[in-house]
Amino acid sequence: MAALQDRDGLPVRTRAKNGAYVAAAGGGAAPPAKDDGALVADVERAHVAAQQLFGAARYDEAAEAWLGALRLVRTIGDPAIRKGVQPVLAGALGCALDCRGDPRAAVTWHARAFEANGKIGDTRAQGGDMANAGTAYLNAAAAAAALR
């Protein structure tokens, strides 16, 4: 039986009681290819690369880089690490989407960042998420007004 895949084609894994990863519905052991430290380093490199693309006004490429980093975060085994990293990447992705002219998608990603920051109790970051979502919302309204 093949392992289940998520919407991005990544294998769905769960932790067995002994802490080992097993492929969901596959039954066999599916150890992570890298440890969490190496994965976090890969995510950080992807984030820095996306920031450089964003700074160069290459918003499409930056958005793709942040999406890739978010996919990579999903493979990190430690839920505390995932919860701490995901809102940063989601918020950054929202900014790239807004700058490339997709404010509705940006609002969605800022809302995800807001929710994720709420789960870890980071109210200061939630304030930034709200400000960014508000800017994207205003950009969406301006785009809609321009079409009238």
Which structure tokens are listed for 47?
A: 């984030």
What one-character DSSP code corresponds to residue 5? B
pLDDT, tens digit, 9 for 90 and up, residues 29-87: 444 457 999 999 999 999 999 999 999 999 999 999 999 999 999 999 999 999 999 99
What is the pTM (predicted TM-score) of this model?
A: 0.74
Rounded Cα–Cα distance for residues 118 and 90 (Å)? 13
